[in-house]
Amino acid sequence: MNAPVSPADSLRAALAGLLDGLPPKAASQAVERLIANYRGRTPTDAPVLRDRSDVVAYAAYRMPATFEAVCSALDAFAETVPAWVPDSHVDIGGGTGAATWAVNAVWAGERPVTVLDWAEPALALGREIAARNPELKGAEWRRSRIGAALTVESTDLVTVSYVLGELTETDRAAVVDAAGGAARSVVIVEPGTPGGHARVIEARNRLVRAGFRIAAPCPHSAACPIVPGEDWCHFSARVSRSSLHRQVKGGSLAYEDEKFSYVAAVRGPEAAPAPSRVVRRPQIRKGQVLLDLCEAEPSLLRRTTVTKRHGPLYRAARDADWGDAWPPAGERDPE
């Protein structure tokens, strides 16, 4: 019996043949233009993806990174709601559907899925790629303006990934409000840049004011302790590099790290946020591990040192990664 194919492997297979027939130079030129646009330099009334060449280049270049970043955010969220599985999902500004694949990777199974985007070529290719995944074949791909006129049907989960940077301030607020008004849970992912973090914090504040509780990455729903302009909260996801990645960037490594910022907020499922979260790469030194943590009580940033005398906690610290909850669930004091 053949082993089941994971959504990640299925997505890679679906993307592998997209560039056939597209001249390498055309693909590279499209990617170089899109690299700048996805980071937030495109006005609301000008969709980034204009035709199939753009969409193919975007999908081959950006879908793997977006998929891995959203998976990382959803994995952290899922740890706080272990008994919950979304019954339905709406992906705002979903383009070719990377976040839809990520939700399916974290919570397997069929569910009503709606992808909203203003670029018809992106929706068409997303539908084509999703046909490779039996659990996404029933997804609805709907053209919709992503801005003040957006309406979102009631759903368990809304994702908004790498979208807010393309919007005006007014439209960003409208999209977050529409997501919060429709969903029990909202997950927003942006590039791991100071600007991306600022947009995530802006969205986080709106969701908290609307009655949501923060499930991840923050261990609390109080104000973010990071001083604006001094630092920013972001994490990293490992991405396998395609031949197009190596062609455009001229690199030889088989992977790269996608930096992203995110927030997961809940109104419905009972969430148990982590006591604290590792917000920098752990520093492993002889006999000790230095962890930079965002903590809940009180809400602050703190560095802690875990040494061999901490026993199992020290071993856990050596295995800890940037973005992990701390301490691990098995090492927490019972309540």
CA 67 to chain centre: 7
Query: pLDDT tens-digit profile of 198-245?
Result: 999 999 999 999 999 999 999 999 999 998 888 999 999 998 876 666
d(C-alpha 69, C-alpha 63), whole Å? 10
pTM over 0.95: no
The structural domains of the chain, with segments of one domain joined by +, span 7-266, 276-331
Q: Whole-number mean pLDDT of the chain?
A: 87
In this structure, what token pair is assigned to residue 224? 């973010």
Neighbouring CB atoms inside 10 A of 316's CB total 18
**For the domain 7-266, what is the CATH superfamily, name and number?**
Vaccinia Virus protein VP39 (3.40.50.150)
Query: pLDDT tens-digit profile of 119-178?
Result: 898 899 999 999 989 999 999 999 999 999 999 999 999 999 999 998 999 999 999 999
Residue in the block written with tokens 């910022």: 261
Nearest-10 crossing angle of helices 120-130, 7-16:
120
Question: Is the pLDDT score of 335 beyond 50?
Answer: no
Question: Is the pLDDT score of 334 beyond 50?
Answer: no
Distances (CA, A) of 141 to 2, 58, 125, 177: 31, 18, 10, 21
Start-to-end CA span in the chain (Å): 45
Q: What local confidence, expressed as pLDDT, does residue 44 receive?
A: 47
Question: Is the pLDDT score of 260 beyond 80?
Answer: yes
Please tell me which residue, 18 or 208, carries the higher pLDDT value.
208
Taking residues 108-113, report their average pLDDT.
Answer: 96
Q: What local confidence, expressed as pLDDT, does residue 268 receive?
A: 74
Question: Which neighbouring-strand residues pair with 277?
Answer: 294, 325
